[in-house]
Structure 1
Protein backbone atom coordinates (compact mmCIF):
# COMPACT_ATOMS: atom_id res chain seq x y z
CA UNK A 1 0.00 0.00 0.00
CA UNK A 2 1.53 3.28 -1.11
CA UNK A 3 0.60 6.65 0.26
CA UNK A 4 1.12 9.64 -1.97
CA UNK A 5 2.84 12.65 -0.47
CA UNK A 6 1.67 16.13 -1.32
CA UNK A 7 3.40 19.52 -1.43
CA UNK A 8 3.17 21.39 1.87
CA UNK A 9 2.15 24.58 0.07
CA UNK A 10 0.03 23.76 -3.00
CA UNK A 11 -1.00 20.16 -2.16
CA UNK A 12 0.07 18.82 -5.57
CA UNK A 13 1.29 15.23 -5.66
CA UNK A 14 5.07 15.00 -5.15
CA UNK A 15 7.14 13.06 -7.63
CA UNK A 16 10.77 12.25 -6.95
CA UNK A 17 12.73 11.71 -3.77
CA UNK A 18 10.98 10.11 -0.83
CA UNK A 19 11.91 12.96 1.55
CA UNK A 20 10.65 15.71 -0.76
CA UNK A 21 8.37 18.26 0.96
CA UNK A 22 7.70 20.88 -1.74
CA UNK A 23 7.13 20.46 -5.47
CA UNK A 24 9.51 23.32 -6.40
CA UNK A 25 11.49 26.29 -5.07
CA UNK A 26 8.54 28.66 -5.56
CA UNK A 27 6.29 26.58 -3.26
CA UNK A 28 9.05 26.33 -0.65
CA UNK A 29 9.63 30.09 -0.70
CA UNK A 30 5.88 30.85 -0.62
CA UNK A 31 5.33 28.49 2.31
CA UNK A 32 8.18 30.07 4.32
CA UNK A 33 6.89 33.58 3.53
CA UNK A 34 3.34 32.73 4.68
CA UNK A 35 4.72 31.12 7.82
CA UNK A 36 6.86 34.19 8.65
CA UNK A 37 3.83 36.51 8.23
CA UNK A 38 1.85 34.56 10.81
CA UNK A 39 4.63 34.65 13.43
CA UNK A 40 5.07 37.59 15.78
CA UNK A 41 7.86 39.89 14.56
CA UNK A 42 11.17 39.48 16.29
CA UNK A 43 12.47 42.30 18.48
CA UNK A 44 15.28 43.14 16.06
CA UNK A 45 12.82 43.47 13.18
CA UNK A 46 10.58 45.83 15.20
CA UNK A 47 13.52 48.07 16.09
CA UNK A 48 14.93 48.05 12.56
CA UNK A 49 11.55 48.85 11.02
CA UNK A 50 10.98 51.77 13.42
CA UNK A 51 14.47 53.17 12.73
CA UNK A 52 13.83 53.00 8.99
CA UNK A 53 10.48 54.75 9.40
CA UNK A 54 12.00 57.44 11.66
CA UNK A 55 14.78 58.10 9.11
CA UNK A 56 12.28 58.33 6.25
CA UNK A 57 10.13 60.83 8.18
CA UNK A 58 13.09 62.97 9.28
CA UNK A 59 14.44 63.03 5.71
CA UNK A 60 11.01 64.02 4.35
CA UNK A 61 10.63 67.00 6.69
CA UNK A 62 14.26 68.18 6.60
CA UNK A 63 15.07 68.92 2.97
CA UNK A 64 17.18 72.04 3.63
CA UNK A 65 19.47 70.62 6.35
CA UNK A 66 17.70 72.35 9.23
CA UNK A 67 13.99 72.68 9.98
CA UNK A 68 11.53 73.05 12.85
CA UNK A 69 8.40 70.90 12.86
CA UNK A 70 5.63 70.43 15.41
CA UNK A 71 6.07 67.11 17.18
CA UNK A 72 2.47 66.08 16.47
CA UNK A 73 3.11 66.27 12.72
CA UNK A 74 5.96 63.76 12.95
CA UNK A 75 4.22 61.53 15.48
CA UNK A 76 1.09 61.33 13.30
CA UNK A 77 3.33 59.95 10.53
CA UNK A 78 4.54 57.21 12.92
CA UNK A 79 7.72 58.86 14.25
CA UNK A 80 8.86 57.53 17.65
CA UNK A 81 11.57 59.62 19.37
CA UNK A 82 12.56 56.67 21.60
CA UNK A 83 14.24 54.99 18.62
CA UNK A 84 17.56 56.53 17.54
CA UNK A 85 21.04 55.31 16.58
CA UNK A 86 23.31 57.80 18.35
CA UNK A 87 23.42 61.27 19.87
CA UNK A 88 25.51 64.44 19.79
CA UNK A 89 25.84 67.10 22.49
CA UNK A 90 26.56 70.69 21.42
CA UNK A 91 28.48 73.36 23.36
CA UNK A 92 25.23 74.64 24.95
CA UNK A 93 24.49 71.19 26.37
CA UNK A 94 21.63 70.39 23.98
CA UNK A 95 21.50 66.73 23.08
CA UNK A 96 20.53 65.95 19.49
CA UNK A 97 19.38 62.39 18.84
CA UNK A 98 20.19 60.93 15.44
CA UNK A 99 18.63 58.29 13.25
CA UNK A 100 21.62 57.58 11.04
CA UNK A 101 22.45 60.97 9.46
CA UNK A 102 19.24 62.81 10.45
CA UNK A 103 18.97 64.35 13.91
CA UNK A 104 16.31 65.90 16.08
CA UNK A 105 16.10 67.98 19.24
CA UNK A 106 12.86 68.31 21.20
CA UNK A 107 11.94 71.91 22.04
CA UNK A 108 8.97 73.58 23.65
CA UNK A 109 8.11 76.96 22.10
CA UNK A 110 5.02 78.92 23.16
CA UNK A 111 3.80 75.82 25.01
CA UNK A 112 3.94 73.77 21.77
CA UNK A 113 6.18 70.69 21.45
CA UNK A 114 8.43 70.93 18.41
CA UNK A 115 11.41 69.14 16.93
CA UNK A 116 14.42 70.96 15.54
CA UNK A 117 15.65 68.78 12.68
CA UNK A 118 19.26 68.76 11.52
CA UNK A 119 21.52 66.73 9.28
CA UNK A 120 24.83 65.29 10.51
CA UNK A 121 27.77 67.61 9.81
CA UNK A 122 31.50 66.86 9.77
CA UNK A 123 32.16 69.13 12.79
CA UNK A 124 29.95 66.86 14.92
CA UNK A 125 32.43 63.97 14.64
CA UNK A 126 34.50 63.28 17.70
CA UNK A 127 38.17 63.90 17.00
Structure 2
Protein backbone atom coordinates (compact mmCIF):
# COMPACT_ATOMS: atom_id res chain seq x y z
CA UNK A 1 0.00 0.00 0.00
CA UNK A 2 1.39 3.43 -0.99
CA UNK A 3 0.83 6.60 1.04
CA UNK A 4 0.35 9.80 -0.90
CA UNK A 5 1.19 13.00 0.91
CA UNK A 6 1.76 16.53 -0.22
CA UNK A 7 4.98 18.54 -0.50
CA UNK A 8 5.54 20.68 2.61
CA UNK A 9 6.36 23.72 0.46
CA UNK A 10 4.24 23.68 -2.71
CA UNK A 11 1.49 21.26 -1.59
CA UNK A 12 1.81 19.15 -4.77
CA UNK A 13 1.15 15.44 -4.44
CA UNK A 14 4.24 13.37 -3.63
CA UNK A 15 5.08 10.13 -5.39
CA UNK A 16 7.81 7.75 -4.37
CA UNK A 17 9.13 6.97 -0.92
CA UNK A 18 6.65 7.11 1.93
CA UNK A 19 8.89 9.34 4.07
CA UNK A 20 9.41 11.91 1.32
CA UNK A 21 8.70 15.52 2.38
CA UNK A 22 9.48 17.56 -0.75
CA UNK A 23 8.78 17.00 -4.43
CA UNK A 24 12.20 18.29 -5.59
CA UNK A 25 15.39 19.98 -4.33
CA UNK A 26 14.06 23.44 -5.27
CA UNK A 27 11.07 23.06 -2.94
CA UNK A 28 13.34 21.85 -0.15
CA UNK A 29 15.67 24.82 -0.61
CA UNK A 30 12.81 27.33 -0.81
CA UNK A 31 11.24 25.88 2.35
CA UNK A 32 14.51 26.09 4.29
CA UNK A 33 15.05 29.68 3.10
CA UNK A 34 11.53 30.60 4.19
CA UNK A 35 12.08 29.03 7.63
CA UNK A 36 15.38 30.89 8.09
CA UNK A 37 13.74 34.23 7.20
CA UNK A 38 11.06 33.74 9.86
CA UNK A 39 13.59 33.18 12.67
CA UNK A 40 14.90 36.24 14.50
CA UNK A 41 18.36 37.37 13.44
CA UNK A 42 21.14 35.92 15.56
CA UNK A 43 23.35 38.25 17.63
CA UNK A 44 26.43 37.19 15.65
CA UNK A 45 24.74 38.17 12.38
CA UNK A 46 23.69 41.56 13.77
CA UNK A 47 27.27 42.36 14.82
CA UNK A 48 28.78 41.03 11.59
CA UNK A 49 26.36 42.99 9.41
CA UNK A 50 27.05 46.24 11.31
CA UNK A 51 30.83 45.72 11.03
CA UNK A 52 30.50 45.15 7.29
CA UNK A 53 28.36 48.27 6.92
CA UNK A 54 30.80 50.35 9.02
CA UNK A 55 33.74 49.16 6.89
CA UNK A 56 31.90 49.94 3.66
CA UNK A 57 31.06 53.47 4.86
CA UNK A 58 34.60 54.17 6.11
CA UNK A 59 36.08 52.89 2.85
CA UNK A 60 33.68 55.02 0.82
CA UNK A 61 34.53 58.25 2.67
CA UNK A 62 38.27 57.63 3.10
CA UNK A 63 39.66 57.83 -0.42
CA UNK A 64 42.78 59.84 0.49
CA UNK A 65 44.28 57.88 3.40
CA UNK A 66 43.43 60.55 5.99
CA UNK A 67 40.18 62.51 5.84
CA UNK A 68 38.05 64.56 8.24
CA UNK A 69 34.28 64.07 7.89
CA UNK A 70 31.30 65.34 9.86
CA UNK A 71 29.91 62.58 12.07
CA UNK A 72 26.37 63.33 10.90
CA UNK A 73 27.32 62.26 7.36
CA UNK A 74 28.46 58.85 8.56
CA UNK A 75 25.59 58.22 10.95
CA UNK A 76 23.14 59.20 8.23
CA UNK A 77 24.56 56.34 6.14
CA UNK A 78 24.06 53.89 9.04
CA UNK A 79 27.52 54.07 10.67
CA UNK A 80 27.57 52.97 14.33
CA UNK A 81 30.81 53.86 16.20
CA UNK A 82 30.07 51.28 18.90
CA UNK A 83 31.02 48.47 16.52
CA UNK A 84 34.75 48.14 15.82
CA UNK A 85 37.32 45.34 15.61
CA UNK A 86 40.39 46.78 17.35
CA UNK A 87 42.08 50.03 18.36
CA UNK A 88 45.42 51.81 18.08
CA UNK A 89 46.84 54.46 20.39
CA UNK A 90 49.22 56.99 18.83
CA UNK A 91 52.10 58.78 20.58
CA UNK A 92 49.83 61.76 21.46
CA UNK A 93 47.49 59.42 23.34
CA UNK A 94 44.66 59.54 20.79
CA UNK A 95 42.86 56.21 20.49
CA UNK A 96 41.75 55.34 16.97
CA UNK A 97 39.06 52.69 16.69
CA UNK A 98 39.35 50.40 13.67
CA UNK A 99 36.89 48.45 11.60
CA UNK A 100 39.27 45.99 9.97
CA UNK A 101 41.78 48.24 8.11
CA UNK A 102 39.83 51.52 8.38
CA UNK A 103 40.12 53.64 11.51
CA UNK A 104 38.29 56.61 12.97
CA UNK A 105 38.79 59.09 15.80
CA UNK A 106 35.97 61.27 17.11
CA UNK A 107 36.80 64.96 17.39
CA UNK A 108 34.87 68.12 18.20
CA UNK A 109 35.98 71.21 16.25
CA UNK A 110 34.15 74.51 16.83
CA UNK A 111 31.20 72.64 18.34
CA UNK A 112 30.87 70.30 15.35
CA UNK A 113 31.34 66.56 15.86
CA UNK A 114 33.71 65.09 13.28
CA UNK A 115 35.61 61.89 12.59
CA UNK A 116 39.22 61.70 11.51
CA UNK A 117 39.36 58.72 9.14
CA UNK A 118 42.62 56.87 8.54
CA UNK A 119 43.78 53.63 6.99
CA UNK A 120 45.89 51.05 8.85
CA UNK A 121 49.65 51.47 8.25
CA UNK A 122 52.53 49.06 8.87
CA UNK A 123 54.03 51.24 11.63
CA UNK A 124 50.84 50.85 13.70
CA UNK A 125 51.71 47.28 14.72
CA UNK A 126 51.24 46.93 18.46
CA UNK A 127 54.13 45.44 20.39
- Same fold? TM cut 0.5: yes
- Gaps (5+ residues) in structure 2? none
4+ long deviations beyond 2 Å:
1-4
1:62 aligns with 2:62: yes
CA distance in structure 1 between the aligned counterparts of 2:2 and 2:15, rounded to whole angstroms: 13
Residue in structure 2 matched with residue 79 of structure 1 by the alignment? 79
- Report the aligned-residue RMSD: 1.2
Cα displacement string for residues 6-36 of structure 1 (whole angstroms, at most 9, x for unaligned residues): 1111111111111111111111111111111
Cα displacement string for residues 30-72 of structure 1 (whole angstroms, at most 9, x for unaligned residues): 1111111111100000000000000000000001111010001
Residue in structure 2 matched with residue 46 of structure 1 by the alignment? 46
Residue in structure 2 matched with residue 117 of structure 1 by the alignment? 117
- Gaps (5+ residues) in structure 1? none
What number of residue pairs does the alignment pair up? 127
Deviation at 1:3, TM superposition (A): 5.1
Residue in structure 2 matched with residue 106 of structure 1 by the alignment? 106
Which sits farther off after the overlay, 83-92 or 2-11?
2-11
TM score, norm. by length of structure 1 = 0.96
CA distance in structure 1 between the aligned counterparts of 2:18 and 2:68, rounded to whole angstroms: 64
